[in-house]
Amino acid sequence: MSAKENNLEEKVKSLYEVMQQEKVEEIRIDSSDMKLHIRRKNYSRPVQRVAQSTANAPAKQEVSSPEPQQEVVLGESTIKSPITGVFYRSPSPTSPMFVKEGDVVETGKTLCIVEAMKVMNEIKATERAKIVKVLVENGEPINSQQDLFVIEKM
């Protein structure tokens, strides 16, 4: 292993250790000499690591697990998470849920919170819709662009 590859491997390990300590699930770095994407699928599952320099160095390790696909019926669409984080259905454990299946929500209504790096991000309805199905369990880690709700536009 060359010194450059060894240095890259050490950087990847260091970044992963910080991710574990800070409970960060995903990090992506794109620079002129390196592209790096590390994703922690779940704290007890294997980690996906892809490291590649523009000098065409081989990927260090790639482990992936297929994500289940949700079936969407014609006339229905989904609301996706804009960020990676932890999904919460209510503002606190003792508060009522923002929405439940069957609710009709107006534009701007808070649907859930996604916690990312200790910041609570409200996900709001972008149009009037009926919540057909909630696809994620409360407190579950989620990825960017993951479907959260199946909705029927009104």
**Which domains, ranges and CATH numbers included, belong to the chain?**
3-53 (no CATH), 76-153 (2.40.50.100)
pLDDT at 40: 63
> Which pair of tokens denotes residue 111?
């649907």
Beta partners for residue 105, in sequence order: 129
Query: Over 50: is that where the pLDDT of 100 sits?
Result: yes
Q: What is the pTM of this model?
A: 0.53
pLDDT at 39: 67
Q: Are 138 and 150 in contact (CB under 8 A)?
A: no
pLDDT at 151: 93
Q: Residue 126 and residue 105: Cα distance in Å, rounded?
A: 10
For residue 128, give the H/E element and its range.
none
